[in-house]
Amino acid sequence: MSGGLAAGLAAAVFALACSGPSPPTESDDPVTLTIGVPQSRQLNPTHSISTLVATLTDERLSAIDAIGRTQPRLVEHWTTSSDGLTWTLKLRQNLRFHDGSPLTSADVKRSLDAVMNDRTRAVASVCLADAESIAAPGPLEVAVRFSRRCSFFLDDLLITITRTLPDGTTAGTGPFVLVSQDETSCTLEANDRYHLGKPAIERVVFRSYSTLREAWAEMLRGSVDFLWEVGPDSAEFLRDQASVEVRSFTNYYAYTIVPNSAREPFSRPEVRRALSLAVDRAALLRHALRGQGVVATSPIWPHTWARKAETTPLPHAPDEAVALLRQALGRPEHVPRGSSPLFTFTCLVPQGFTVYERLALVVQQQLRAVDVDMRLESLPADVVNSRVMAEGDFDAVLLPILGGPSLSVLNRLWHSPSPSPLWNFWGYRNASVDAALDALREAPDEAHTRAAVAELEAALRADPPGIVLVWSDTLQAVSRRFIVPESGNGRDALHVLGAWRHHPEEARQP
Amino acid sequence: MRSLSVRFAVMLATAAVAPLLVYGAVSVYSLREGTHRTVVDGSANVARQVGEQVRRYVRTNLQIFQALVVDLANTDLTLEQQDHILKNFVLRFPEFRELTVFDRAKAIVASSAVGPPRLKPPVDSVVGPLGVAMSPVFVDDDVLPTSFVTLPFSLGSEGDGWLVGEFSIEELWRMVDRIRVGDSGVALIVGPGGVLLAHGNPSQRPLVARGTKLSDHPVVAALAAVPGETPVVREFRAADGQRMLAVGVRVPELGWFVLVEQPTREAYATAMLHERELLAAIGLALLIMILVGSIWARSLIRPIVDLTAATGAIAEGRLEQRVTIRSVTELSRLGQGFNRMADRLVELQDDVRRQERHAVFGKVAAGLVHDLSHPFKNIQNNCRLVLKMHDDQEYRELFRRTVEREFATVKRVFEDLHNIVRPMPVERFPVDLNKLAADVVETMRLNADTAGLSLELKPTPEDAYVEGDIIALGRVLRNLVLNAIEATPPLGRVTVATDTADGFVRLQVSDTGCGIPPERIATLFDDFQTTKRQGLGLGLASSKKIVEQLGGTIRAERHVAKGAVFVVELARVRPPRRAVG
């Protein structure tokens, strides 16, 4: 998802999230977790308080674990018919919205219908576009009939189920309820009716900070318990604080220079492959992210269960890249390197973020070594969004591109034709990739899924849609007053906040 | 003998313990001083090394910055070329996060930034090493230590300008992070104005982020007050109450200070351990010395103690006491001599006892012969006469009285003798001494008449009852009267008087005889002592035993010129109530 899109959506969700129902009764001394959200130039701009709040207030039908497998959440279990076309979902008993009203199959059907019928929301679903019918045969049972087999349906269940209240606000079913909000903070309280039990943390307060330094200072003063994201530059010096545990997980997006396939010479697979060969990803990771991440080998999220654990790294072969480029561009081979650029293009870079700037500079230097002149145009994120998605006026753009955790995201991004101008706006087309994605979509079991993913990865490496660079790590700092469960290892600790425990023996720092 | 032990202990203390204690005190002092110097020197060396590393690090980067200026100055490079150089430069030297060139009007000429540069021409920089102006170090929004560096240069035909760099001094933090003195000793870097730039304790890093000033730190204050390269050493109490040892040095060129802090408890831990070991060794040596000295002193003093005890025993008459001294020294020979002396004393005592027995036996035999020969002679003579005059009624009566009297005398002698050897038990009844005295005077009047004396009785008009045995007291009074009669020449007078005073009844027998020589007074009541020329001398001894058995006293008073007075005092009791009817 692009930064502009994320920012827009985040603002909308924040507005919705912070207009929740009236607060429940407070206890005298609630266990409170204060979450600091810094707005740092080191960080990716795709996250905002609103999206984080929604994570806690709106429960999804299913959830994703640390290796990308779908786990039941509001749905207790599911079955498929022998032909694989009918899915029957069984909801948990005693599910209730924050206002106390019960969640039934009718609510789920209404949400799935909305996704299926709303073209804007349908971009979030791969399978529902092929749904023939959605029925609620029982109060806790939902049956979906498809016209074609679709193994991504479990990923489609990652949608949240909410109910619009008479006052126009929405009620979710998540572990926390939004009770108040102002310009810089949101307060949530534990949901007594949460189906997995009331969380041990009774109150959550989100606070926004203009700088990481400000947020970190507040954490060291004991005013903040959980720093949602710290930048890679600071990680080295923040890790060794005795009162704080610094955790990390690999983000679901890879920093990628996405070329516009509609423009020359990027329509040629050889050029895209040559550019990919020209990049030294290890150096990128070292210089731009200070080692806080994973070198990308393909656009597929490296930790997904369906992918082979050991994958050959993408080679750094500048000589081969030059040869490929000269061949693709019809340039004579005897011309010495460095005399003149083979071609020049402009890469749009979202403005104001150190990570993007460093990545762009290092890639620029590395491409210069293969006689490619990548010029950098730093623009505000909304301008980049407009140029890229609305106008299509770009040679290339540096963006974080999703690669997981669910496999359906790969279908949305790389299958042609694109289901929406919000996905694959760069016009990538490759028959092998489409075939592999189709096989993945119709995979009847895990073995077929693994085979399809391997096929897809091979096709994406042979014809890379862009210069996939690195998967960055998100670093989070948690006060030792709280204990994050093991289920939070390798993933965003916020996603398991309902299972956090308070460590009463650890006092706040003065 | 305790004083001898004390003296011996004092001798030991003077000879061995005191020097050992003095040695220990000197050693502990030397150890403390040496350790203090070593710790301070070590910390100062660490501080100097850190300071030198900091100086080199900053200087090297400023040289790099200066080299960039050389590349840009007077070259008339195009803006694109300058931009290219700056971007390459920040990639090669990541300490410089951004580099921007400003012209004379402070407008941006070129920058390494991809977008709009963040840097501005600094206004508060001071010229540092190599002529590069450095702003005060601060912690930027991404929690990293940063300084803006500026150097003017010529832009060629464009005129003069400035190169401004964002200099990330992260390495400063890494340097102090790597420094550990002991377990918890850390290094600090303090900038101008006492601003804390780096702290080796990660948990104290928020102090850096807050721009904390350490102007009041004793070492910082001392370094700021006195210029020079000499390390400053201070001990102080930290905010958490812990005593700290801090050593500070000045970083050349930069004017910064490097401090090395370590808790004194930890800094001197080794010395304290050695000190404890030394004190333990000295204590152990003292203990062993006292123990050995004590054992040795005991072996030396024990024979003297034994000899002293044995001498005391001999003095108390326990002549069987001997000493055993095993050591082959003069003391052993002294012990042997003592034992021989004791053996000889036993022999001498046996001889004396034998001679005493012989003397007593002779005296008793002579006394018996004397005391019994007269009665028996009288009886013998009267027996002869009775054969001739048995028809004479009057003589027979005289014979009967004479025999009875003489046998009474014999009986009394035997009773006295028996009473001396084994005192007879006495009965306790109220006895009227007036009546007893009258009876005795009456019975002894014939003896007095025979001796040509007058025997007078002077009873007290008051009741003179005592608790006693009337027979035993009669024997005492008869002995005293008889002695008085025998000691008084004819025409003399013997007086028996009773008196009461202070709860006592006093019985007094006085005579007008020759009196008692002073040298005899003390032994007058001993066995076989007599003032008479012959006789057993048991009367007074027997009398004394009887009086003492009754709880009274008997004494003789000296009246050599006027005769002798014997006084018996017994506790006075109420007269018994007479039976009615």
DSSP string, B41-81: HHHHHHHHHHHHHHHHHHHHHHHHHHHHHHHHTTS---HHH
Interface subset of B 422-481, CB within 8 angstroms of A: none
Residue type, B268: Y
B87 contacts in A (CB within 8 Å)?
A: 361, 364-365
CB atoms A237 and B94 under 8 Å:
no
Phi/psi region, residue A252 (left: phi>0; alpha: psi -120 to 50; beta: rest), is: alpha
Smallest CA–CA distance, residue B21 to chain A, in Å, is 47
Which of A220, A237, A285 has the highest number of chain B CBs within 10 A, making it the mutation to test binding with B? A237
Which of B80, B93, B141 has the highest number of chain A CBs within 10 A, making it the mutation to test binding with A? B141
pLDDT value of residue A28: 61
Give tens-digit pLDDT for B406-461.
Answer: 888 788 778 777 777 776 777 888 899 999 999 889 888 888 888 899 999 999 99
Give the separation between CA B164 and CA B125, rounded to whole angstroms: 11
Give tens-digit pLDDT for B340-349.
Answer: 998 998 889 8
Backbone angles phi, psi at A259, to 5 degrees: -85, 155
pLDDT(B81) > 90: no
Smallest CA–CA distance, residue A116 to chain B, in Å, is 41
**Reported confidence tier of residue B258, pLDDT bands at 50, 70, 90:** very high
Q: Determine contact: B141 vs chain A, CB below 8 A.
A: yes
Give the separation between CA A283 and CA A262, rounded to whole angstroms: 30
**Nearest-CA neighbor of B209 among B149, B145, B135?**
B145
pLDDT(B131) > 70: yes
Helix (H) or strand (E) holding A220: helix A212-220
pLDDT value of residue B381: 85
CB atoms B142 and A376 under 8 Å:
no
Q: Strand pairing of B96-103 and B160-168? A: antiparallel
Of residues B143 and B67, more confidence is placed in B67
Burial of A156 (0-12, 13-18, 19+ CB in 10 A): buried
Q: How far apart are the first and last CA of chain A?
A: 41
**Nearest-CA neighbor of A305 among A121, A69, A70, A16?**
A69
Radius of gyration of chain B (CA): 62
Backbone angles phi, psi at B525, to 5 degrees: -100, 10
Q: What is the mean pLDDT of residues A149-165?
A: 88
Count CB neighbours of A212 within 10 A: 27
Give tens-digit pLDDT for A455-502.
Answer: 999 999 999 999 999 999 988 999 988 999 988 888 889 989 989 998
For B82, the 3-state DSSP assignment is: helix
Contacts 24+ apart (CB under 8 A), B424-430: B424/B472, B426/B468, B426/B469, B426/B472, B426/B546, B426/B549, B426/B550, B427/B469, B428/B467, B428/B468, B428/B469, B428/B550, B429/B467, B429/B468, B429/B469, B429/B470, B430/B465, B430/B466, B430/B467, B430/B573, B430/B574, B430/B575, B430/B576
Q: CA angle at residue A401 from A395 to A405, to 5 degrees?
A: 165
Count CB neighbours of B412 within 10 A: 19
DSSP calls for B418-460: HHHHSPPP---EEEEHHHHHHHHHHHHHHHHHHHT-EEEEE--
Give the separation between CA A349 and CA A399, rounded to whole angstroms: 8
| Tokens, residue B577 | 């109530």
Give the separation between CA A294 and CA A296, rounded to whole angstroms: 6
Between B87, B142, B209, which is nearest A217 by CB?
B209
pLDDT value of residue A419: 67
pLDDT(B257) > 70: yes
Backbone angles phi, psi at B83, to 5 degrees: -60, -45
Q: How far apart are the first and last CA of chain B?
A: 76
Smallest CA–CA distance, residue A394 to chain B, in Å, is 17
pLDDT value of residue B126: 65
Q: How far is CA A472 from CA A249, A359, B454, B470, B539, in A?
A: 9, 11, 152, 134, 135
CB atoms B142 and A242 under 8 Å:
no
pLDDT value of residue B529: 60
Average pLDDT, chain B: 84
Phi/psi region, residue B559 (left: phi>0; alpha: psi -120 to 50; beta: rest), is: beta
CB atoms B114 and A41 under 8 Å:
no
B96 contacts in A (CB within 8 Å)?
A: none
**Reported confidence tier of residue B269, pLDDT bands at 50, 70, 90:** confident
pLDDT(A14) > 60: no
Count CB neighbours of B361 within 10 A: 10
Give residues with Cβ within 8 angstroms of B553, minimum separation 6: B547, B568, B569
Helix (H) or strand (E) holding A232: helix A232-238
pLDDT value of residue A1: 37
Q: How far is CA A405 from CA A77, A193, A304, A476, B311, in A?
A: 20, 29, 6, 19, 109
Helix (H) or strand (E) holding B373: helix B330-388
**Reported confidence tier of residue A288, pLDDT bands at 50, 70, 90:** confident
Q: What is the mean pLDDT of residues B27-41?
A: 84
Are A175 and A55 a contacting pair, CB within 8 Å?
no
Give the single-character DSSP code of A496.
G
**Nearest-CA neighbor of A351 among A47, A3, A8?**
A3
Give tens-digit pLDDT for A142-151.
Answer: 999 999 898 8
Q: How far is CA B324 from CA A234, B87, B298, B333, B339, in A?
A: 91, 108, 15, 11, 9
pLDDT value of residue A284: 93
Give tens-digit pLDDT for B456-476.
Answer: 999 999 999 999 888 888 888
Find the DSSP H helices in B179-253. 205-209, 218-225
pLDDT value of residue A365: 92
How many A/B residue pairs have CB atoms within 8 Å? 80
Give the separation between CA B353 and CA B484, rounded to whole angstroms: 33
Q: What is the mean pLDDT of residues B520-544?
A: 70
Q: Read off the pTM.
A: 0.66
pLDDT value of residue A4: 37
Q: What is the mean pLDDT of residues B62-75?
A: 85
DSSP calls for B135-189: PPPEE-TTS-EEEEEEEEEE-GGG-EEEEEEEEE-HHHHHHHHH--BTTTBEEEE
pLDDT(B279) > 80: yes
| Tokens, residue A340 | 């003149």
CB atoms B142 and A217 under 8 Å:
no
CB atoms A287 and B91 under 8 Å:
yes
Give the separation between CA B472 and CA B415, rounded to whole angstroms: 10
Please name the residue that has the structure tokens 């036996």.
Answer: B361
pLDDT(A17) > 70: no
pLDDT value of residue A2: 39
Give the separation between CA B381 and CA B396, rounded to whole angstroms: 13
Give residues with Cβ within 8 angstroms of B225, minimum separation 6: none
Give the separation between CA A216 and CA B141, rounded to whole angstroms: 10
pLDDT value of residue B157: 66
Give tens-digit pLDDT for B293-338.
Answer: 778 877 777 888 888 888 999 888 888 888 887 776 788 888 888 8
**Nearest-CA neighbor of A406 among A333, A301, A278?**
A301
CB atoms B114 and A214 under 8 Å:
no
Give the single-character DSSP code of B345.
H
Average pLDDT, chain A: 85
pLDDT value of residue A18: 38
ipTM: 0.77
What whole-number percentage of chain A has pLDDT above 70? 90
Between A221, A242, A378, which is nearest B114 by CB?
A378
- The torsion of the CA quartet B326, B328, B332, B334, rounded to 10 degrees, works out to 180
Between A213, A234, A357, which is nearest B114 by CB?
A357
CB atoms B143 and A238 under 8 Å:
yes
CB atoms A349 and B116 under 8 Å:
no
3-state SS string over A154-189? HHHCCCECCEECCCCCEECCCCEEEEEECCCEEEEE
pLDDT value of residue A178: 92
Give the separation between CA B241 and CA B244, rounded to whole angstroms: 9
Q: Strand pairing of B196-199 and A482-483? A: unpaired
**Reported confidence tier of residue A7, pLDDT bands at 50, 70, 90:** very low
Q: What is the mean pLDDT of residues B98-109?
A: 87
**Reported confidence tier of residue A22, pLDDT bands at 50, 70, 90:** very low
C-alpha count within 13 angstroms, C-beta hemisphere, residue B30: 7
pLDDT value of residue A507: 52
CB atoms B143 and A212 under 8 Å:
yes
Q: What is the mean pLDDT of residues B162-189?
A: 87
Which of A290, A361, A373, A506 has the highest number of chain B CBs within 10 A, making it the mutation to test binding with B? A361
Q: How far is CA B53 from CA A196, B47, B508, in A?
A: 57, 10, 123
**Reported confidence tier of residue A128, pLDDT bands at 50, 70, 90:** confident
**Reported confidence tier of residue A40, pLDDT bands at 50, 70, 90:** low
